[in-house]
Amino acid sequence: MDFHERTTGFVERQRDALDRRRLVLVASPDASARADLLYRQQGEAMAALMASFNERDFNLLMTFLTDAGEVLARSQRALWRASLPEQADADQTLHRPLA
């Protein structure tokens, strides 16, 4: 049994039905119910948070998050291109240059 099996209980090892030499990881029987509970609570909390914003502030927040994501993505692409010079020419046609 490995770390993830002991600490999370979300996965179990089982023998492959077609090849008994292989082990496969499968969701434990109660994993789905546990994950549903965890993410349902998270989703409800996020919905309550979003409902606390008026439309103007929500739109401003969404614009900021979208633009910040684009800045980070362009920065990451620039770093990637700088680390792999042979990719720079091919990648130029796929992405805008870093602003």
- Say whether pTM exceeds 0.75: no
Domain positions in the chain: 1-52, 54-99
Count of C-beta atoms within a 10 Å radius of residue 17: 8
14-59 tens-digit pLDDT: 898 899 889 998 888 788 788 888 899 999 999 999 999 999 999 9
Cα 19 to Cα 21: distance, rounded to the nearest angstrom: 5
CA distances from 73 to 66, 77, 81 (A): 11, 6, 12
